[in-house]
A and B are shown apart, each in its own frame.
Chain A
Amino acid sequence: AQTVTQSQPEMSVQEAETVTLSCTYDTSESDYYLFWYKQPPSRQMILVIRQEAYKQQNATENRFSVNFQKAAKSFSLKISDSQLGDAAMYFCAYRSPYTSGTYKYIFGTGTRLKVLA
């Protein structure tokens, strides 16, 4: 069975600095999808970034980028130029490919990010 591990329950970063959130996963599949979701105090779940396992290039979305290491099964999120609005809970998630027939999502336990002014 697939698992997703976020080993940092909480992290802090100074405004305008860079922070990296860690995520590791375990799977026997070669094709899959990885996601980072943001959950601000409003509890709304917001997709930050996604990565297809077959793509070697790391995904980027403005100030957010990932370091995807397939062999190491690692998927970290880097937030550059941190802003107060980045303060939230961040969840890493794994999804089986559509072709697997299961289409299940596995989420990590989350990392709470605090941004210090």
Chain B
Amino acid sequence: EAQVTQNPRYLITVTGKKLTVTCSQNMNHEYMSWYRQDPGLGLRQIYYSMNVEVTDKGDVPEGYKVSRKEKRNFPLILESPSPNQTSLYFCASSFLGGGSTDTQYFGPGTRLTVL
């Protein structure tokens, strides 16, 4: 089954404790992306990657790191989480280029709470 998986689905942590949210896709997609969703703000793109070892900043990259060492995985790293990073996080992937093949597939979301 074609899917994007995220782990963990729920996480409660404390300020300053490093954490990683994993994202994996099994569709051989070149493009992967991380978003955060906050009430009243919609989805905002954090980072994206157009291929292995190629990453770029979205609109809200501060406080986050990413890496793309393998095509299927795109982990999101919070080196020193703060309460303002409490949010719902989505990973997504797609093929590149035009046409319907560039449809983004989203993971189920990760609810992160930073105390």
Contacts and interface: CB of A to CB of B under 8 A. Distances in A.
Given A45-B90, A97-B98, A105 B108 contact: no
Residue among A52, A93, A107 with max Cβ neighbours from chain B (10 Å): A107
Interface in A75-97: 91, 93, 97
Contacts of A70: none
Contacts of A110: 42
A91 B43 contact: yes
Contacts of B96: 98, 103
Q: Is the interface of A mostly helix, strand, loop or mixed?
A: loop
Given A98-B96, A103-B31, A103-B96, A43 B109 contact: yes
Given A44-B106, A47-B103, A103-B50, A109 B40 contact: yes
- Interface size class of chain A, counting residues whose CB lies under 8 Å from the partner chain: 20 to 34
Contacts of B56: 102, 104
B59 interface: yes
A50 interface: yes
Contacts of B92: 45
A107 B106 contact: no
A37 B96 CA distance: 19
Nearest to B104: A47
B98 A107 contact: no
Contacts of A105: 33, 35, 43, 45, 48, 58, 104
Contacts of B35: 105, 107
Interface of A: 6, 9, 33, 43-45, 47, 50, 52, 91, 93, 97-98, 102-110
Interface of B: 31, 33, 35, 40-45, 48, 50, 56, 58-59, 88, 90, 92, 96-98, 100, 102-104, 106, 108-109
24 contacts: A9-B40, A43-B108, A44-B108, A45-B90, A45-B92, A45-B106, A47-B103, A50-B100, A50-B103, A91-B42, A91-B43, A97-B98, A98-B96, A98-B97, A103-B48, A103-B96, A104-B56, A104-B59, A105-B33, A105-B35, A105-B58, A107-B42, A107-B45, A109-B42
